[in-house]
Structure 1
Amino acid sequence: MRNALSPLLVFMAAELDLTTSQKGNLLSAIAAGYFFTQVPGGVLADWLGAKNVMTAALTLSALCCLLLPVVVDSLGLSGLWGVMAVMGAVQGPLFPTSTVYLSKWMPKAAPGGSDEKAWGTGMLDIGTSLGALLVIPAANSLAGTFGWRLAYQSIGAASLGFVGIWQVMAAEEPGRCFYISKTELAFLEANVPKQKPKSKDQQQDQDGSGLLGMPLALALHQGLWAVFFAHIAFNYGAYYLTNWSPTYYSEVLNLTPAQAKYHLMLPHVTNLICKSVNPLLVRVVERNGVSLLSMRRLFTVSGFVLAAACLLPVYRLRNHDPWISTILCSMANACFGLAPCGFKANYLDITEKYVGVISGYGNTLGTVGSWVGPQLVAFLLHRFQSWDVVLLSVALVNVGAALNYVRCSTVTPLERSLQTPTKKAADPKTN
């Protein structure tokens, strides 16, 4: 739903006569709303259940798609920005809530087994890639035939249909799933970490978490910020490709939406392929004796650095066949597909008690990249009149985040490092 704006913006710009700055402002509207609802989303997941929060978010997003054309016709550009910001706000809880949801289903590594946390976050990202892939031909075809208004409303109606399927098939936790096998249920009950009832001492510790929802020392830990900085860099780079590629192919490579359709789809195809083979790559790395921490660093750094290397020469090759640019962008997006097994899976490593809160903060900070990104790209284009500067900024942010991740990342639950020596000695699991 939110990715429909990028391909449809080409059609909307022709009708509404949008400037580059206005396009950047619209592309950052979702992030503007998304920014404020991350942490509350994690809290709501604890209160109302992850499934209920996700149902509400999907339903309200679909209604935004259905109402958007009416609001634009009534209020113009400001109405369009407002609806996109509201869509971002209602979708804000999805990432932290999804992480809470996964934490109830993804088992710890069993003897002889593989890293299913990486598999789970990989499947979650595959859904994102599928949506981004499918919306391009669907939006372009619908808008080319019926106009962008009906395209948005069709996407909203289809999304409401999915909500019904989700409500029937999804389960908050394994014990509530009506079609799970007894063997699988027994395995998950034995291997999925469960939060234990808090003792008086633990309740006192929790009280010390204050307004942050977690202890201050944990919130300032460099291992946590390594994940956060990686998330910001990822959103800036990956969403640059999603948000600005339709404009780039239209204004720089001079392709019509119909001609650009397959060029815009291919990067999402390669991203999806990479995410699909991630479980196999994880098994290969594990069989070679690579530690969990080294594996997280390997996937994060290789994804970021290789993506930067692929993007840097794209604008220099603009006068050659457009497929050269498409191949390079596709290779870069494939590299971004390695991230779920890196820093994103790390969200499930670094905490046992604060999954929703940390995921909420992480995606809030990641949203900074999503919001600043389109604004920064528009500014750089206006100031320097060159996409080279834009691509250089993406590369520098990616490489910087990768270096910081190597230096500071960890896979040890951070709350363990906050225990007093007395408590550590009393806990046999930490000895």
Structure 2
Amino acid sequence: MRRCSRAMPNKIWIQTYFCHLAFLGFVNIYSLRISLSVALVAMVNSTDGTSSANKSTSDECPDVGNIHNKTHKIHSSGEYNWDANLQGIILGSFFYGYIVTQVPGGRLAEKIGGKILYGLGVLVTAILTLATPVVVRTMGVGAFITLRILMGIGEGVTYPAMHCMLGKWCPKQERSRLTTFIYSGGYCGTVVSLAVSGVLCNSNFLGGWPSVFYVTGAVSCLWCVFWLLYTSNSPRDHKYISKAERDYIESGVGQRLDLPVPWKAILSSRPVWGICIAFFCYAWGGYILLTCLPTYMHKILKVDLSSDGFLSSLPTVLSFFVGSFSGILADFVRRRYISTKTTRKLFTSFGMLVSAVIFPFIHFAGCNETIVLVMLVAAGGLSSTILGGFMVNHIDLSCNFSGTLFGITNMFGTAAGMLGPLVVGLFTNHHSTIGQWQLVFYITAGINVIGIIAYVTMAEGEEQDWNRPDYLHQRKQNKNIPNGVTANGTTANGIATNGITANGTTTYGSL
């Protein structure tokens, strides 16, 4: 057994500062990402006769008695006559850039450190956000889509870079709690962006919708100054940290080394594939939920959520609290009752099982928008327990390659975000009925079940052999050994397995 970390010092100032600044970083990241979803409503002229936004609304539910007061519906007379398909391309273009820099971002963070990469990722995205109104108005929609792709490329490095830093800043006994707190900044950023962007769009401040991009971009640039000046890649590099705090953190995270990536071992690792499948399945449900909350309730239930940020943000508000608490609870049960592996499986399974159970039953709520909203909020909010599950599992498996691992697995999550809305469009574009939407919900539930089964059967909670420095040395030494000869020069009468030859002689170089 590895020795437990040192006793916690009385004051953990630098780690606390790092965690809160990283949390605010994700608030900014999601504000930059989500702001367009609100601003686009004000940018597009929905009163134009060529708009197809409302042509596929179902008549199954009555247009009375809804949560949202229809007398307050706002029809935007924006500058651009972009149809629904073009709006979808604009919103989705971010992910085409985002998926490209996942693995390179993770590996680069391991080589040069996550601080610069995380900060520059936010800064580049913020600068491009500030340029958005000028680009749209002077260069057209093609340039706008290109800019969104570039924003995705910039922001794509942020999660892998942060995961790399978490492996250096979060001791094992606090790993779940600190990781979930930092990543819950994304939920907070979504809520803040939905609320603030709606107010800015409806005001005359800086010209209406352009102010959304100016404000979020400027705030993010200000955050970057504090991040780049007062953080470091690791506790050892921080010039203001005390020796007691540095020793406490470093003793809890274990030895970190700059090693060549064992690509073959990683790509053939069952636990890594377990996370990949779980990430894809969870992200599928998450992005379907983001699609179906405004779209299903508007087209089927006739509830206009475009001007009601509170209703749209309810699942995210619940996700923030549930996700943060799941990290605290995960660390508690790991210390007191169950293993890391069981903890990760439990929290992942619960989060995905909630969606798998709720989605099929939305059909039975019919036109009762209150019940549907409660079900969708529960499905989105309670699923955030995965933050104490597979989201932190990368660091359990490998502290040295956690950035690369997250880049690989997040590619699967991003792919789900790109494919999920396409499936919704395939089933509901011309047949937006309760029955057609129910097919989407059944598929989503089934995918979540697949994710649970895959993760439970493949996940592990302990450090993997390929994360250790002697792994590559053993492989190299083993390649130089002639067939049938052990590493210490004795002949083996059979095939060596797990360091023991068939005749019982120990092989020091075999795997």
Using the size of structure 2 for normalisation, the TM-score is: 0.73
Change (3 A) 1:20 1:183: same
Residue 31 of structure 1 corresponds to 95
The residue type paired with residue 336 of structure 1 is: S
1:149-201 deviation digits (Å, cap 9, x = unpaired)? 22122211121121122223322211333554443222113222223476xxx
1:116 aligns with 2:174: yes
1:56 aligns with 2:117: no
The alignment partner of 1:347 has SS state of helix
The residue type paired with residue 10 of structure 1 is: V
Is the 2:283–2:416 Cα contact (8 Å) retained in structure 1?
yes
1:241 aligns with 2:289: yes
The residue type paired with residue 281 of structure 1 is: L
Change (3 A) 1:71 1:274: same
Residue 325 of structure 1 corresponds to 372
Change (3 A) 1:393 1:9: farther
The alignment partner of 2:99 has SS state of helix
Unaligned stretches of 5+ residues in structure 2: 1-31, 47-77, 476-497
Residue 399 of structure 1 corresponds to 449
Give, in angstroms, the shift of residue 47 of structure 1.
Answer: 3.5
1:350 aligns with 2:397: yes
Distance 1:197 1:138 in 2: 43
The alignment partner of 2:144 has SS state of helix
1:411 aligns with 2:442: no
Aligned positions of 1:59-138 closer than 5 A = 59-108=123-172, 115-138=173-196
Distance 1:225 1:197 in 2: 23
The structure carrying a bigger helix percent of its residues is 1
Distance 1:58 1:342 in 2: 26
Residue 390 of structure 1 corresponds to 440
Is the 2:167–2:400 Cα contact (8 Å) retained in structure 1?
no
Distance 2:148 2:307 in 1: 27
Residue 69 of structure 2 corresponds to none
Distance 1:155 1:372 in 2: 28
Residue 218 of structure 2 corresponds to 157
1:225-259 deviation digits (Å, cap 9, x = unpaired)? 11011111222222333355344444444444575
Is the 1:62–1:157 Cα contact (8 Å) retained in structure 2?
yes
Distance 2:295 2:134 in 1: 25
Give, in angstroms, the shift of residue 60 of structure 1.
Answer: 0.7
Could you say which structure has the greater relative contact order, defined with CA pairs below 8 angstroms and 6 or more residues apart?
Answer: 1
Change (3 A) 1:291 1:192: closer
1:292-337 deviation digits (Å, cap 9, x = unpaired)? 11111110011001123233334653622x4433322221122221
The residue type paired with residue 253 of structure 2 is: V
Is the 1:252–1:318 Cα contact (8 Å) retained in structure 2?
no
Residue 46 of structure 1 corresponds to 110
1:42-71 deviation digits (Å, cap 9, x = unpaired)? 222134321111111111111121111222
Unaligned stretches of 5+ residues in structure 1: 109-114, 199-205, 207-212
Give, in angstroms, the shift of residue 134 of structure 1.
Answer: 0.7
Is the 1:29–1:371 Cα contact (8 Å) retained in structure 2?
no
Give, in angstroms, the shift of residue 125 of structure 1.
Answer: 1.9
The residue type paired with residue 362 of structure 1 is: T
1:15-40 deviation digits (Å, cap 9, x = unpaired)? 33444433432332111101111111
Residue 192 of structure 1 corresponds to 253
Distance 1:188 1:426 in 2: 36
Is the 1:232–1:369 Cα contact (8 Å) retained in structure 2?
yes
The residue type paired with residue 238 of structure 1 is: G
Using the size of structure 1 for normalisation, the TM-score is: 0.86
Distance 2:220 2:424 in 1: 30
Distance 2:298 2:129 in 1: 24
Change (3 A) 1:172 1:258: same
Distance 1:197 1:163 in 2: 27
The alignment partner of 1:44 has SS state of helix
Residue 210 of structure 1 corresponds to none
Distance 1:363 1:218 in 2: 15
Percent of aligned pairs with the same amino acid: 25
Change (3 A) 1:259 1:357: closer
Aligned positions of 1:271-290 closer than 5 A = 271-286=319-334, 289-290=337-338
The residue type paired with residue 363 of structure 1 is: N
Change (3 A) 1:332 1:400: same
Distance 1:242 1:92 in 2: 20
The residue type paired with residue 7 of structure 1 is: V
Is the 2:340–2:462 Cα contact (8 Å) retained in structure 1?
no
The alignment partner of 2:86 has SS state of helix
Is the 1:10–1:246 Cα contact (8 Å) retained in structure 2?
no
The alignment partner of 1:145 has SS state of coil
Give, in angstroms, the shift of residue 82 of structure 1.
Answer: 1.8
Give, in angstroms, the shift of residue 423 of structure 1.
Answer: 10
The residue type paired with residue 386 of structure 2 is: A
Is the 1:27–1:243 Cα contact (8 Å) retained in structure 2?
no
The residue type paired with residue 378 of structure 1 is: G
Aligned residues: 407
1:296 aligns with 2:344: yes
Give, in angstroms, the shift of residue 278 of structure 1.
Answer: 1.6
Change (3 A) 1:391 1:75: farther
- From 211, 215, 231, the equivalent of 2:279 is 231
Change (3 A) 1:167 1:300: same
Give, in angstroms, the shift of residue 284 of structure 1.
Answer: 4.9
Distance 1:20 1:311 in 2: 25
Is the 2:327–2:387 Cα contact (8 Å) retained in structure 1?
no
